[in-house]
Amino acid sequence: MAVRPQDTWYVSFEQKRIRPAKRAFSRVTETFRSELEAKEFAKQKLAETKNVSAGTLNPHLPKRVISSTQMIQWLEVPTGTDAAP
């Protein structure tokens, strides 16, 4: 049985609720196997909302957290062949 590589990156973003609720926005998180995939998704979400953050999932090391204020800078840094182990 083949072992599927685990996701190591996440991207979290605000999603406007369609139905009225206590909160106008809710957060949604997607996970990815590589930093490159996470960056591509984050770029798409930045077109919809400015509150996008990303980072690595535990137990992946080194731990990385990219806040919404650091997002543009993170997206500009070239990503090599970052593949999940």
Total number of domains constituting the chain: 1
Q: How confident is the model at residue 2 (pLDDT cuts 50, 70, 90)?
A: very low
Pair of tokens at residue 73: 């800078």
Work out the percent of the chain whose per-residue pLDDT is above 70: 75
Q: Is position 34 within any domain?
A: yes
Q: Side chain identity at 36, as an amino acid letter?
A: L
User: How far is it, in rounded angstroms, from Cα 66 to Cα 76?
Assistant: 13
User: How far is it, in rounded angstroms, from Cα 21 to Cα 17?
Assistant: 8
Which domain does 51 fall in, by range?
9-17+25-76
For residues 51 and 1, the answer to whether their CB atoms sit within 8 Å is: no
Q: Is position 84 within any domain?
A: no
Q: Is position 54 within any domain?
A: yes
Closest CA to 13 of 45, 41, 55, 44: 45
Pair of tokens at residue 71: 């997002």
Q: What is the pLDDT of residue 24?
A: 60
Which of the two residues, 34 and 18, has the higher pLDDT score? Answer: 34
